[in-house]
Every structure is written in structure tokens, then in C-alpha cells.
Structure 1
Amino acid sequence: MSRTVARLFTDALEELGVRHVFGVVGDALNPFTDAIRTSKNLTWVGCRHEEAAAFAAGAQSQLTDTLGVCMGTVGPGAVHLLNGLYDAAKSGTPVLAIAGQVPLSEVGTDYFQEVDNDLLFKDVAVFRATVTSPEQLPALLEVAVRTAIGRRGVAVLTVPGDIGDQKLPADRPVRLSVARSENRPDDPALDEAARLIDDGGNVTLLVGRGARTSRDDVLALADRLAAPMVVTLKAKEGFEDDNPFQVGQTGLIGNPAAAHAMDHADTLVLLGTDFPYREWYPEGKKVVQVDRVAEHIGRRVPVDVALAADVGPTVRGLLERVAAREDRKHLDAAREKFADWQDGQRRLAAPGHDKGLIGKVRSAFDNRDHLVRPEALAAAVDAAADDNAIFTSDTGMATVWLSRFVEMRGSRRLIGSYNLGSMANAMPQAIGAQLLDRDRQTVAFCGDGGLSMLLGDLMTIHTERLPIKLVVFDNQRLGMVKLEQEQAGLPEFGTVLDNPDFAAVAEALGIKGIRVERAEDLAEAVQRAFAEPGPVLLDVLTNPDEIAVPAKPTVQQGWGFAIAKVRENLHSTGS
């Protein structure tokens, strides 16, 4: 029995276990959306912007480790997918994008809305092709899916508007199985790494997302080496909870204990991480790096022993070779500093902080309007959220507060645009996450700038009846940009946002809105938001002048901040 091109696609997606296809309907996609309409297992999720659709598809892929799927129609529809697809590509997660095209007979004539999709997606896609005849299928689809899954990236298939409803010449089954395997370094390479570690003095582990499925092995290695464990943001969900070796994050969102652990190590062992910030790697250390992607090794810091393999079997091989350490001073010093830093953070986030003597003095300088401190908001959400909640976070200050005050305990999950660093990702990623399990709590840490950029897809949340909790850090600013400007000695400029009452906007769209303007109302508002059975937008006016002190603040940053504040005050006085 023959099938149309569109029906072949939907049957193949069902076979893969895909449940949702995200996009915006349009003429070239009509055969596909009609096939989805009559599908038993696929659901079309109509978004208000294709960028949100791509973010949602990427979120599902990251959370399930399977293929995410999105669609965009001819020209602008396909173009709008790009940012969300770049996020998937930079996150190393497989996504299939179906892009519409003008009728085949019009391709190359500068037809209305025509865009060269194969050129457009050249940089972002590990595979891209245009379907020009039904005879190319199902082979072309099989190659696209296997490439996306095998290379953990984006595949784009462009389908002209007059191809989707054409019949296939034969009903050949689609074969999409992809067998995965773990790679282990050979024995001489493991022997070399073990010798370097044994002779390398104090050891610190820098652990990333690539090690997440090997938690027990990595903890055993930390114990054997008496090594503090610096955890990247993307590895929080695998290594933060019940871990006697971890000392939090390094970098701009990090803490002094993690910086101490890195600086006082003689040898760094990098496990499944491509942490990008070169300035946060200390100089003069011996380095062993383990990464399944060979081209990731050595591009951030010079590496003495490179092990291009999966973390789990590599660490198990090292455990058979490295000697146990009895001296635990390096680990104990880092952990003590981490505990002290955590105590200070808890005091800062306490509801009554600004009522104490230190808090009153501090508020006179940085919170004269007595707005809610973002630390207190993040800590309150951490306390209220389920131990299996899924968190998403917008790039910027919302991620800073989440990294410091939300603990990935239990089976909590965390995703964000942590490689691309896009704005506006948290809300659409929460859409994808919540659709996977409507009964599992999903919490989006939204910046006011990020939320307003894709504000229209609040309507998708309402339409799909998704019980997402949207927590808006409403500081009327592009907060991270403000901080960057001030640390460089520049007065704040162009960062002020003329925000609406987001809670009122949510109410107008059929979503429960709660607005918090005073610190004393915060605790009750958070509890009320999380008690609501449906979607909630919690709009909290937070202090725009809150300073997230980096792990190793420099004198130059301090002077820059002071100079910026003087310039800002002079400007406000003279205006």
C-alpha cells in the first residue's frame, strides 16, 4: 500500500517514539500537519513563533536523549527556526527540522518567500538536504535521522510545497535503528594518565555533563584521589546532590571554594566538560582530559594526556590503576571554604536579611527602594519546588541565582541555553519539558528581558493547558549586560526595560498572575504560586543593583564598578 511523503515522515517519527512536533502551520507544511492530525501517537503543538518551537523540541531532546522535531514553513518560517536550532547544535542534542520550500518548479526563480534553505542551515546542521522527488525516500530521511542521532546535532530536511502529498513508488519500511556503544581508551593511554595523576600532587576534578551518567564511578575516583570536584552548571543535576566532594561552580557564576580548588591543584582532571572560559583555568597545571568528542580536547587549556573516549569506561580504567590517597588536606580545605560560602549565601537569602544591622547598611547603598532580593526569590522557589521538578533558566542573572540557590536534589533536571547563551529560552524550553509529563512540576526561571522577547508563546502555555510555573526576575533591566558594563567602568546604558505588569498580562491571556512588590509578601506568594494546579506567572520586582560577586573578583573589576557608579550618579544628578 502506497503512502504520501508526509505520511512516511509521520510514520517514521512514531516509530522513533517521538510524541510532539512543534511549529507554526503554513502552506508548504499542510500535508505534514494533516498527516499529524490523523496520527494516533503524534501531537502537533502550534507555537506562536518558530524560535519557540525549536527551543521546545531541543528541550525534549535534551531531557529524553532522543530526537526532537520542529517544523517551519517557507521562507520566514524556516528562518525563524534558526536560533533554537543553534541552541540544540551547541547543546549537542539531536533535533530534526522540517523546513518548507516553494514549489519545486519555482525553486531558483526568486519566488515569493523563497530562501535557499540548504545554504541557510549550512552552519547549524550536521546534515541538510532538499527533497526533490519521492524516490529519494525513505533513504534520505534515514540518513538525516541517523546523522542527527549519531553526531548529536541538527538535521534539516527541506520539502517543497508540492512534494509532501506525492505518493511514494513503493511501501518500503523506514529503518531508523541506531546502536550506540561506549568507547574506552587503550591500556597504554590509561597507564600514561594514571602515572601522571599518581605523580601529580594535589588533584582537582572538573566535571561536566558528559560524566552525568557515570556518577558512581566519578565519585569513586574523587574518593580514591581525595580530590575536590568542581561541577559545571550543566553537571549540577548529576553531581550536586549528596556529593561529599563537590565544591560548586567556577567562572563568573562560581564561588571562592571552586576557584581555590582549581588554583591549589597540581593536576586537573577534566571529565566530560568543554567549559569554555579560558581565563578561569589556572596556569601551570598538569591536565588530563576525557571527552568522547576528540576535537573538544585541548581547545580550552593545554592538555598533557588526552583520552578521547566515554567518561564511564575511562574512569573505571583509571580506578584500576591510580593509587589511593591518604592525605585529604586539599579536599578538606576546599570543602571547608565551600561550606563557609554556602553559609554566607543562606544568610543573604534569608527573608529578614535587610532588617538586620548589616542588611540595613547594605540596603542603604544597593537597595534603597527595598525591592525583593533575587537571592531570596531563588531560595524560596528552591524550598517550594518538588524534588523531581524540571528547571529551565534564561541566560543572564536568572541563571546566576539558580546556580547559587537552587539545589539539584532528588531527580531534579536542569536545562538552559548554556552553550549558545541565547535570551528567551526558559519559557519555550519549559513548554517542551512540561509536555513530556504534565504531572511533573516544571519551573522556568525567566529574566524580564528574555520573557518579553518571546512573550507571545505564553498563549501556547494557555492553549495547551500546561501547568508551568514561570518565575520572573523582574528587575526592569538586562541585568547581565548592566553588570558587564559596570565591571568595565562604563555607566549603565541601554539596559533599562519599560516593563508592563507581567502578572496582569498573564491574567489577560488566561494564566494565573501573581505580582510581588515587597519582600514581606514573597514567601506567601511563592507558596500560593506552587499550590495552583494550573499555569502561574509569578512576577517579582527584584533589586536591579544586586551584585553577583564572581569567584575571584579582580581589582580592575572593583575599580571599574566604582567608576561606573560615579558616572551613573553624575548623569542622574545632571539630568
Structure 2
Amino acid sequence: MARTVAHVIVNALEELGVQHVFGVVGDALNPLTEAIRTSATLTWVGCRHEEAAAFAAGAQAQLSGTLGVCMGTVGPGSVHLLNGLYDAAKTRAPVLAVCGQVPLAEIGSDYFQEVDNDLLFRDVAVHRATVTSPDQMPRMMESAVRAAVTQGGVAVLTVPGDLGDRELSEDRPARFALDRAVTRPDDPALAEAAALLNAASRVTLLVGAGARDARTEVLRTAERLASPMVLTLKAKEGFEDDNAFQVGQTGLIGNPAAAHALESGDVLLMLGTDFPYREWYPQDVKVVQIDSREDHLGRRTPVDVGLAGDAGATLRALLPLLEQVADREHLDDARERFVHWQEGQRRLADPAHDRRRTGRARAALDNPDHLIRPEALAAAVDAHAADDAVFTSDTGMATVWLSRLVTMRGSRRLIGSYNLGSMANAMPQAIGAQLWSPERQTVAFCGDGGLSMLLGDLMTIKTYALPVKLVVFDNHRLGMVKLEQEQVGLPEFGTELDNPDFAAVARALGIEGIRVTDPADLDDAVRQAFSTPGPVLLDVLTNPEEVAVPGRPTLAQGWGFAVAKIKEML
């Protein structure tokens, strides 16, 4: 008996080892969800919003390096996938979105709920196609998966509602050839890069997620060149732990040591990073960049030598050409500055900070109500979370505190919307992460604004009994927007949030909820959250006036902040 279109798709996903499909059921998807229902290895995860489904699928793709899958039914159901799919696209996570469509004969007639999916997903997808005949399968499935995996992006396959249960006249199994080539630059280019690096006296490394699989080679390079290593946020995972060269992050979330390491070098070596903020790159330095994508070379800052290739393969070929640097002053100075900055962060993260003399003076200005400092919450989570925990974080101040106070030690993992910068990503990404590895602890750093956007998918966590720990930085603010307004001299406007008691909301949904308002109760509350079986929402009232000082504060920012505060008082 010939298989149906739906069974070709589901059997192909089974063959690829996909375990979860995220989405919201709907009529055009009925043949597909029925085929999933009868599958021995695939599980349908019914979300409350398709955006959450796309974020969850993207999270699994990022963590596993393999295909994530979500589905949206005809029209609005597919439209709702867009934000999560854009996040996957910007992260280069391989995701397949299977979308429903109106009956084949009605396409183009402005039918009820009809949306042109091929046009809708044109910008977000590396591949998009609409099935118009059963006999196009499984070729169309193969093309979609191959594009998503080999190009690192989103593929959208649209299936009209009346085609899913139609049989193929001639059947064959899907075949997938998905191996990627590992390349390195040619020898003359490597020699040119080595000559530039060997002539330098102070080399600084800027390391991104594209070099994570080359940790050994990156550390050997830092040792050979006696170089401080500035990490992008996505490189915290893999390079932060047990690394005597790293000096943290740069940019608005960064620290003075990293900024100084970049500015005081005479050569910048960029490894697997497309760090987008041009104003944070050093000026008047030579630049060597290694990246697997040739189109990334030189697009953020002018590059003197660009090496297109895999970071590990390229460094293995480059290292024999590099001379050992004996003078460690550049590295030691950066590390000393970094350790000093870390000590200050730890003092601020102490829940008793505001009761000490210097703390009382600061609190009178920025925390008169003695709310919990977000640094203290992040530090407490870092102390109590497992060494193999998976962390997700909402865009904004929650990510700032995670960046500064949480260490990616052991086998911890970290994902977030770090390229798209979406709100509301942490909780749905935690759903995908927890299902990807049920035995590992999953911790979501949620902003109160982000959590409330997709609050309904707390019910998904409850339905599937996912032991996610949701840590809510509840400052009743869109904190990053507030900071952005104030640093340019504007009084905060539109950022205040009239929040419910999120812990009570969680309890009403059948999830354990813990609310913390007193700094003295913080550590015990975090310990309780992590020791409680099942899902827990930890709602912590944090100080809305907390300022994350950037690594290189400017006079204009300080003046703007002062002007904003005067305007707010008036």
C-alpha cells in the first residue's frame, strides 16, 4: 500500500531522529498530526501559541545541532510562527516548519484564511516550497531538510489541506546526504596572517560561537600569543570555564577589562564571530579574521587578513607558524583588571550589600525601597543551579545579569535570542530544551515583560509536566528600554508594567510558585526552587533602578542619565 504525503513527511522525520514536533493543531494539519499520533518515535507537543512552538523547535536545533520541527496550520497559525522562525534564521539553527494551506483548488482565490506562505516566509527561509502533487514527495522533503541543515536556516514546506492524506502513485524512502565539508585557507594566506601576528606586540582575541568546537586550538593560540581573550555572549558556553585567558564580554553588557583588552592591543584576532556592534571594535589596529563564512570577513570592521575556513582546521594549520610570545604584560594586565571587576560584582551581588556602609550610601540613591538587587538573584541561581544545567534568557536586563553573574562551568549550555533580540523567548526555549534533555536541569532567566507576552505557554509546561525552573526578574519594568531612554537624557516612558503576582498565577495553573520580596529570603528561596520536583516559577521583586554600567561608559551617557533623572524627579 502506497504511503500518503503526511506519512512520507513523518517517516522522514523518524529517519532523521527527530523526536518532537511543536505546534497548534488545525484542520489543514489533521493528516499530519494523525500520522504523528500513530508514530512510534515522534511526539506531538501541543503549544498554546505557535510562536512558542517555533522558539521551542529552534532551541532544540541549537542545542542538538540537528533538525528542529514546528508546524502551523493554514493562515494565522503559520503567521504566528514567524518570530520564532526569524530567531532560528538569525541563529542559523536548522528548523523545518511544515505549514498548512487552503485546498489546492482554492489557492489564489482569496479563500478563508488563505495566506501566500511562499511570499510570507521569503525573507526568513533559506528554502520554501508548496506541495502541489503527492508525487512530488519525498523529493520536496529531501530538498527542504537538506537546505535547512546544510545552510543552517529555516525551511518551510507548505501542504494544502486536501493533499496530506493523498497517496503517492510511486513510493520510495527519503534519502538524506547532509555531511558538511571542513575547509581551511590556503598556505599563502596562512603565512600572511602569521607574519602579521608574529610582528605584533599585543594581540587580543575576540572569540565567538563559531569557534566553540575548536576550544583546544583557541586556547593554544591564546597561550602562544600571550593574548587576553574577549568572549561574545554566545562564546560563554565553551570558553568561560577553566580558561586563564578569558576576560569576559565587551559591548553594553560587557566589562572594563574586556574593553581595555581590545583598545590596548595592536592586533585583533577574530575567531568565529560576527559581533555586530561596530562602535565597540578597537580603532587603528591590524585585524585578522577567521570565519567559516566568507561573506562575514570584514563586514563589521576593516580586516587586513581574512581567512575563510573552519576555526579548528584553520588554527591547526596556523599554529605551527606562530612564534611563542614571552612578554605576558598585555595578558596579565587584562586578567588583573578582569579579576578586580569580578570582585566588585561579587560584592554587589551579596544580599547583605545594602546593609553595609558603602551599600547604604548607594541604596539611598538607587534602591531606597531595599528591593532585591538583580545581581544577587543571578548570583544565587549560579550557586544553586546544576553544573550541567541548560540556561535560557530573555532579551534585555535578564541577559545582562546572566552574562555578568552566571558562569558556564561544567557542561552548562546557554541559548537565547542573541541575534534577533526578541522578547519572550526564554520560557518557550526552555520548553524545547527540557524536552531535548529531560534529565538535565533547565533554567529560564525571564524578564517580567517577556514572560507576560507568552504567559499562556506556562500551561504547556504544566501539561507536559516539564521540570523547568522559571526565574522571573520582576522589576515592573521594561528594564533595557528604561536604560536606553535614560542614557540619552530621556525620562522613562511607557516602560512601567502593572504586573500580577506571577507566583500566584503559576499556582493557579498548577505550577509551584514562590514569591520573594526580602533580600534576606533570597538564597533559601532559590535553594527551594531547585530542590522542588517539577516546574517552579520563582517570582523575585528586583530593583528597577539598577544600572548596568557598560564596559566603556562615556561622558555623554553619564550626562544623559543625570538629565533623565532630573526630568523624572520634576
TM-score per shorter chain, which class?
over 0.9
Residue 299 of structure 2: aligned partner? 299
Instruction: Give the CA deviation at 1:436.
Output: 1.3
Residue 555 of structure 1: aligned partner? 555
Residue 565 of structure 2: aligned partner? 565
Instruction: Give the CA deviation at 1:418.
Output: 0.1
- In the alignment, the residues of structure 2 paired with residue 169 and residue 267 of structure 1 have an alpha-carbon distance, to the nearest angstrom, of 63
Instruction: Give the CA deviation at 1:338.
Output: 0.3
- In the alignment, the residues of structure 2 paired with residue 371 and residue 489 of structure 1 have an alpha-carbon distance, to the nearest angstrom, of 25
Name the SS of the counterpart of 1:383 in structure 2: helix
Render the CA deviation track for 1:310-362: whole Å, top value 9, x for unaligned: 10011111101010100000000000000000000001101210110011011
- In the alignment, the residues of structure 1 paired with residue 539 and residue 506 of structure 2 have an alpha-carbon distance, to the nearest angstrom, of 10
Instruction: Give the CA deviation at 1:392.
Output: 0.1
One-letter amino acid of the structure 2 residue matched with residue 21 of structure 1: V
Alignment of 1:423-462 (within 5 A): 423-462=423-462
Name the SS of the counterpart of 2:336 in structure 1: helix
- In the alignment, the residues of structure 2 paired with residue 47 and residue 177 of structure 1 have an alpha-carbon distance, to the nearest angstrom, of 31
- Unmatched 5+ residue regions in structure 1? 571-575
Residue 482 of structure 1: aligned partner? 482
Q: Is it true that 1:397 corresponds to 2:387 in the alignment?
A: no
One-letter amino acid of the structure 2 residue matched with residue 385 of structure 1: A
- In the alignment, the residues of structure 2 paired with residue 403 and residue 77 of structure 1 have an alpha-carbon distance, to the nearest angstrom, of 34
Residue 232 of structure 2: aligned partner? 232
Name the SS of the counterpart of 2:321 in structure 1: coil
- In the alignment, the residues of structure 1 paired with residue 155 and residue 547 of structure 2 have an alpha-carbon distance, to the nearest angstrom, of 41
Alignment of 1:265-414 (within 5 A): 265-414=265-414
Alignment of 1:253-272 (within 5 A): 253-272=253-272
Residue 29 of structure 2: aligned partner? 29
Kindly indicate whether the alpha-carbon contact (under 8 Å) linking 2:257 and 2:341 is maintained by their aligned counterparts in 1: yes
Name the SS of the counterpart of 1:320 in structure 2: helix
Name the SS of the counterpart of 2:414 in structure 1: strand
- Unmatched 5+ residue regions in structure 2? none
- In the alignment, the residues of structure 2 paired with residue 331 and residue 261 of structure 1 have an alpha-carbon distance, to the nearest angstrom, of 8
Alignment of 1:10-25 (within 5 A): 10-25=10-25
- In the alignment, the residues of structure 2 paired with residue 40 and residue 285 of structure 1 have an alpha-carbon distance, to the nearest angstrom, of 58
Residue 249 of structure 2: aligned partner? 249
- In the alignment, the residues of structure 2 paired with residue 67 and residue 177 of structure 1 have an alpha-carbon distance, to the nearest angstrom, of 14
Name the SS of the counterpart of 1:380 in structure 2: helix
Residue 2 of structure 1: aligned partner? 2
Residue 573 of structure 1: aligned partner? none
- In the alignment, the residues of structure 2 paired with residue 528 and residue 172 of structure 1 have an alpha-carbon distance, to the nearest angstrom, of 54
Kindly indicate whether the alpha-carbon contact (under 8 Å) linking 2:386 and 2:441 is maintained by their aligned counterparts in 1: yes
One-letter amino acid of the structure 1 residue matched with residue 393 of structure 2: S
- In the alignment, the residues of structure 2 paired with residue 143 and residue 437 of structure 1 have an alpha-carbon distance, to the nearest angstrom, of 28
Instruction: Give the CA deviation at 1:177.
Output: 2.8
Instruction: Give the CA deviation at 1:199.
Output: 1.2
One-letter amino acid of the structure 2 residue matched with residue 308 of structure 1: A
Instruction: Give the CA deviation at 1:176.
Output: 1.3
Residue 201 of structure 1: aligned partner? 201
Name the SS of the counterpart of 1:206 in structure 2: strand
Instruction: Give the CA deviation at 1:200.
Output: 2.4
One-letter amino acid of the structure 1 residue matched with residue 194 of structure 2: A
**Over the residues paired in the alignment, what is the CA RMSD in angstroms?**
0.5
One-letter amino acid of the structure 2 residue matched with residue 154 of structure 1: V
Alignment of 1:446-525 (within 5 A): 446-525=446-525
Residue 59 of structure 2: aligned partner? 59
Instruction: Give the CA deviation at 1:179.
Output: 1.3
Alignment of 1:147-226 (within 5 A): 147-226=147-226
Alignment of 1:119-138 (within 5 A): 119-138=119-138
Instruction: Give the CA deviation at 1:255.
Output: 0.3
Instruction: Give the CA deviation at 1:557.
Output: 0.1
- In the alignment, the residues of structure 2 paired with residue 434 and residue 146 of structure 1 have an alpha-carbon distance, to the nearest angstrom, of 26
One-letter amino acid of the structure 1 residue matched with residue 147 of structure 2: T
- In the alignment, the residues of structure 2 paired with residue 181 and residue 116 of structure 1 have an alpha-carbon distance, to the nearest angstrom, of 35
Kindly indicate whether the alpha-carbon contact (under 8 Å) linking 2:351 and 2:373 is maintained by their aligned counterparts in 1: no
One-letter amino acid of the structure 2 residue matched with residue 213 of structure 1: D
Name the SS of the counterpart of 1:275 in structure 2: coil
Residue 97 of structure 1: aligned partner? 97
Render the CA deviation track for 1:160-201: whole Å, top value 9, x for unaligned: 000100001122010013112211111111011101111122
- In the alignment, the residues of structure 2 paired with residue 29 and residue 421 of structure 1 have an alpha-carbon distance, to the nearest angstrom, of 30
One-letter amino acid of the structure 2 residue matched with residue 155 of structure 1: A
Residue 528 of structure 1: aligned partner? 528
Residue 49 of structure 1: aligned partner? 49
Larger mean CA deviation between 199-208 and 555-564 belongs to 199-208
Instruction: Give the CA deviation at 1:490.
Output: 0.1
Render the CA deviation track for 1:378-437: whole Å, top value 9, x for unaligned: 000000000000000000000000000000000000000000000000000000000012
- In the alignment, the residues of structure 2 paired with residue 311 and residue 22 of structure 1 have an alpha-carbon distance, to the nearest angstrom, of 33
- In the alignment, the residues of structure 1 paired with residue 335 and residue 162 of structure 2 have an alpha-carbon distance, to the nearest angstrom, of 63
Render the CA deviation track for 1:76-133: whole Å, top value 9, x for unaligned: 0000000000000000110000011000000000000000000000000000010000
- In the alignment, the residues of structure 1 paired with residue 297 and residue 127 of structure 2 have an alpha-carbon distance, to the nearest angstrom, of 24
Name the SS of the counterpart of 1:439 in structure 2: coil
Name the SS of the counterpart of 1:35 in structure 2: helix
Instruction: Give the CA deviation at 1:484.
Output: 0.1
**Structure 1 runs (4+) greater than 4 angstroms displaced:** none
- In the alignment, the residues of structure 1 paired with residue 442 and residue 284 of structure 2 have an alpha-carbon distance, to the nearest angstrom, of 43
Name the SS of the counterpart of 1:129 in structure 2: strand
One-letter amino acid of the structure 1 residue matched with residue 304 of structure 2: D
Name the SS of the counterpart of 1:230 in structure 2: strand
Kindly indicate whether the alpha-carbon contact (under 8 Å) linking 2:351 and 2:372 is maintained by their aligned counterparts in 1: no
Instruction: Give the CA deviation at 1:24.
Output: 0.3
- In the alignment, the residues of structure 1 paired with residue 412 and residue 514 of structure 2 have an alpha-carbon distance, to the nearest angstrom, of 25
Render the CA deviation track for 1:233-277: whole Å, top value 9, x for unaligned: 000011000000000000000000000100000000000000000
- In the alignment, the residues of structure 2 paired with residue 508 and residue 168 of structure 1 have an alpha-carbon distance, to the nearest angstrom, of 48
One-letter amino acid of the structure 2 residue matched with residue 437 of structure 1: S
One-letter amino acid of the structure 1 residue matched with residue 77 of structure 2: G
One-letter amino acid of the structure 1 residue matched with residue 202 of structure 2: N
- In the alignment, the residues of structure 2 paired with residue 554 and residue 179 of structure 1 have an alpha-carbon distance, to the nearest angstrom, of 48
Name the SS of the counterpart of 1:538 in structure 2: strand
- In the alignment, the residues of structure 1 paired with residue 223 and residue 129 of structure 2 have an alpha-carbon distance, to the nearest angstrom, of 49
Instruction: Give the CA deviation at 1:294.
Output: 1.0
- In the alignment, the residues of structure 1 paired with residue 289 and residue 172 of structure 2 have an alpha-carbon distance, to the nearest angstrom, of 45
- In the alignment, the residues of structure 2 paired with residue 447 and residue 23 of structure 1 have an alpha-carbon distance, to the nearest angstrom, of 24
